[in-house]
Amino acid sequence: MKKQFELIATAAAGLEAVVGRELRDLGYDCQVENGRVRFKGDVRAIIETNLWLRAADRIKIVVGSFPARTFEELFQGVFALDWDRYLPLGARFPISKAKCVKSKLHNEPSVQAISKKAVVKKLQKHYARPEGVPLIENGAEFKIEVSILKDQATILIDTTGSSLFKRGYRTEKGGAPIKENMAAAILKLSNWYPDKPLVDPTCGSGTFCIEAAMIARQIAPGLRRTFSFEEWNWIDNRLIQEVRTEASKKINRDLVLDIMGTDIDARMVEIAKENAQKAGVASDITFKQMRVQDLRSEKINGVIISNPPYGERLSDDAGVTKLYAEMGEVFEPLKTWSKFILTSDENFEKKFGRQADKKRKLYNGTLKVDLYQFFGERVRRQATSEKGNI
């Protein structure tokens, strides 16, 4: 099997730079592109990036790339790839996805069928199986994807399985919740650090608070889940366990954190508590039922992060307008606090009563949203200042 791979970490639009920064922090040189970040690495890199990347969606192996203007070119291009270095005899290898953009080939089901035929032919030849005798596919699964952009085909194998945002701790969630990887990315885009107070006044199932605690404690986001590559016979289980053990040893258990999540819905508060317990950070977060209008604090240099109801999450426009106006009034006295608010409402600033210092376009699934950023006044904290109460 191969020792070095060309790899891609996919990411939601607007979050590619965050993923690139994470990869560099892990020690990988990378190239940031639209919707993905390219890097190279060995088997350990596949394990490590799946385990540690907080803002990415998936890690994929690039098997090869070639021009594909006709179905014959597609067949020959796929057939020429070194499939025997990835797929052992008996492997299941569905062509799980085909995407054609600005290309002469646009019938995606046909692209899938021809690509599958080419892989079968190549494996029959390599494993000396006669034509007409189907390959038995009863082993580990290798999901193959075909992407054709401007007549250039790229063939990929997904190493992740369920998307990386599925950390394994969220047992229940509210309506249209923010994905875990987007929450982590927004925290990374903010000016929050573990020594600052953090409040989410519309916490829902607690995702922002939980991700913040995991970042602060250096808990690898993939520690509580499994990945597709763990079933592959050419990835040593001992190496997987070694990387997981190393990650466990990096957890910082000595910090004292000041993180709070509040929500008007008592049921959501209980769900948030359960999720935090499952994530192993229940003792780091205070969750309580409270209206946004009741938020007060004498602390300084804190950070508010909120994903308030909007668009499909709250169909009552009058209710949205009222909530945003109240948020503006409640947050105004918190002069030294920075506020980061995610919404699809293009009139948010008018309703909030203040223009953002910075605005960043993101996508929550297919929904375009903006991250409105309001930076607090800088005040030097006394070294002896104590943790206050809200």
The domains of the chain are located at: 5-158, 180-218+253-374
| CATH no., domain 5-158 | 3.30.2130.30
With 0.85 as the threshold, say if the pTM is over it.
Answer: yes
**Cβ atoms of 213 and 203 closer than 8 Å:** no
Asked which of 174-183, 281-290, 362-371, 379-388 is least confident by mean pLDDT, the reply is: 379-388
Which tokens is 270 given? 């209980």
Q: Could you give the strand order of the β-sheet that contains 30-33, starting from the edge strand earlier in sequence?
A: 30-33, 36-41, 5-10, 58-67, 152-158, 143-149, 95-101
* Residues β-bridged to residue 33: 36
CA distances, 205 to each of 55, 210, 262 (Å): 19, 9, 10
Token digits of residue 259: 């993180």
Q: What length is written for the chain?
A: 390
Using pLDDT thresholds of 50, 70 and 90, give the confidence band for residue 314.
very low
From the number of C-beta atoms within 10 Å of its C-beta (0-12, 13-18, 19+), residue 331 rates as buried
Return the CATH number of the domain spanning residue range 180-218+253-374: 3.40.50.150
Which of these, 303, 307, 305, lies nearest to 343 by C-alpha position? 307
Instruction: Read off the DSSP letter of residue 240.
Output: H
Query: Of 100, 182, 88, whose CA–CA distance to 139 is shortest?
Result: 88
**Tens digit of each residue's pLDDT (9 = 90 or more) over 252-300:** 999 999 999 999 999 999 999 999 999 999 999 999 999 999 999 999 9
By the 10 Å C-beta count (0-12 exposed, 13-18 middle, 19+ buried), 69 is classed as middle
Q: Judging by beta carbons within 10 Å of its beta carbon (0-12, 13-18, 19+), is residue 64 exposed, middle or buried?
A: middle
Q: How much is the mean pLDDT over the chain?
A: 93
